Amino acid sequence: SEPTQISSAFAPYTHHSIRLSKTMLISGYSVVVLVLGVSSGAAFSVGGTFLTASQKAALEETAAKVATPGKGITACDEGPATIGGRFEAVGIENSEETRRKYRQMLFTADGCEDYLSAAILDPETLYQKDDNGVLFPKVLSDRGIVPGCKPHLKIYTLPGTGGDTVMQGLDSLNVRCKEYYDAGARFAKWRSPLVIDTKLGCPTDLAIKANMQDLARYALICQSEGLMPIVEPDISLTGDHTLEEAVDVNIRVQAELFKAMIDHGVYMAGSTLKPNIVNPGKACPISYSVEDIAKANIFVLEQSFPVAMKGANFLSGGQTLPQAAGRLSAMNKIKGSGPWNLSFSWSQALQLPLLDLCKGKGELQFEEMSKLYVEELKIASAAALGQWQGNDGDGDHVGKKAEKKKKEKKASEDSTTEEKKGLFAALFG
């Protein structure tokens, strides 16, 4: 064949230029030697081709700040109705001013910046100011905490899927992202919730693909407007599925996510993962140790999590602080040569104990709350370094059967104690 014909034949399979080096005679056959060369000025083409070098650097810098070892994210992006429900549960009025003062405490508690790399804000909070008239994004930035915003809207149930959902909000997302960037945000976070229901076959392939495509498209739009995207595939704790079933679903979801991101041309080094901690369902009858759960999580990450991404900030998703901290700490103890920073992005695990301090008080207890908040952040930080030592059993999943026996044993012990007290009173009272 002619050299030009040979080059054309190889063209579909390589991005490199091809040139004919020489022809040699071997055993009577004419052999053409081709040399693959990179043409002048060529660059890698996977991801972020629409971004300039400085735009990529800015996104990667934000991702690196979020992935600061020993620091994590305070998730304060609950909408007015969600946070209002928490306030009302402890007898606190739900007003814009109450929400402002509460978020101010979360952003300015003495020493919180030692344990926080970032904060996720609701759009309402993004435009609020502290008592001195300073916008919250600047308050956070001045403390070395990267401010970000939640751009997604409401959940929609997909008809015919048995209850699977998608998150709405892609329409006009670029406009909102530009506004959030101009307001001081430097990243965004989009949550795509999924539920495991083995009886109904959820999540369906349709739901997984639809949600992961949405996350990829969101990430692409965010990067085009200067925001580092945090992608959050959130698989709920509800259900009776086993840890092994959870592992299978999480691998399917994450593999679909990263493939979709690459297909969309997302710049992977300028993005962050916010996954659920892989757990058995809350109603799972089988017990698992915290070490079992930690190994399952590392195994899932090892299957498809790109090393180009600097870290994963796990959500709490209804776990208590001891449960979430125990599992995160165990993960970091066994992650071995895993290149990622594994940290936290917690809301309920941090905030619900703070609001409990307000029960029966009628108003927010800022001094007590801020002190407890920083103590909680110390626990979260230690867990992010694999250094937290809780009580025995923190982070274990106690199966329903074992939990019932445990409660029965405690009730029996309490009954015996009361009987002894009654006998003591009768003899010596």
Positions annotated as catalytic residues are 232, 274
| Cβ-based neighbour number of residue 314 at 10 Å | 26
H helix or E strand, kind and range, residue 281 = none
Please tell me the distance from the alpha carbon of residue 127 to that of residue 105, in angstroms, as a whole number: 16
Specify whether the CB–CB gap between 370 and 105 falls below 8 A: yes
Question: Which burial class, exposed, middle or buried, applies to 293 when counting CB atoms under 10 A from its CB (0-12, 13-18, 19+)?
Answer: buried
φ/ψ of 404, rounded to 5, equals -65, -45
Structure tokens, 239: 């259900």
The residue type of 250 is: N
Comparing CA positions, the residue from 410, 397, 248 lying closest to residue 323 is: 397
Angle in degrees, 0-180, between the axes of helices 290-304 and 243-264, rounded to the nearest 10: 30
341: which strand partners?
311
End-to-end CA distance of the chain: 110
Q: Cα Rg for the chain, rounded, in angstroms? A: 26
Which of 145-158 are b and which e, b meaning 16 or more Cβ less than 10 Å from the residue's Cβ?
A: bbbbbbbbeeeeee
φ/ψ of 387, rounded to 5, equals -120, 5
Q: Where do we find the tokens 């709405």?
A: 168
Comparing CA positions, the residue from 127, 107, 147 lying closest to residue 350 is: 107
Structure tokens, 401: 């059967």
| Cβ-based neighbour number of residue 264 at 10 Å | 17
The sign one gets for the Cα dihedral 90, 92, 96, 97 is negative
Comparing CA positions, the residue from 99, 180, 97, 98 lying closest to residue 146 is: 180
Specify whether the CB–CB gap between 374 and 74 falls below 8 A: no
